[in-house]
Amino acid sequence: MNEILRDRRNGARETAHYIASLAGQLAEMADAASLPVLHYLLEMAREEAASIMSDDHSRDTLPPE
């Protein structure tokens, strides 16, 4: 695996981690404010970001930006 691809993958994981953290906090706020649809959507975003973080990225390429 070349170094540029590895850097892109690490950057994607770091970004996904940050997004998961923020989405989780926002979901808690939405829940506390009795905003169920917004809470649901933010939880979905958090779960998607978490799945990206845990993905082994074993492919040789990443999707286009």
Which pLDDT belongs to residue 5? 65
Does 62 map to a domain?
no
Q: Exposed, middle or buried by CB within 10 Å (0-12, 13-18, 19+), for 49?
A: buried
Does 59 map to a domain?
no
Please state the pTM of the whole predicted model.
Answer: 0.72
Which pLDDT belongs to residue 55? 78
Query: Total structural domains in the chain?
Result: 1
Q: Exposed, middle or buried by CB within 10 Å (0-12, 13-18, 19+), for 26?
A: middle
Q: What is the pLDDT along the chain (65 residues), one digit of tens a residue?
A: 577 666 777 888 899 999 999 999 999 999 999 999 999 999 999 999 999 988 754 343 444 44
User: Which residues span the domain enclosing 48?
Assistant: 3-54
Which pLDDT belongs to residue 11? 86
Does 25 map to a domain?
yes
Does 63 map to a domain?
no
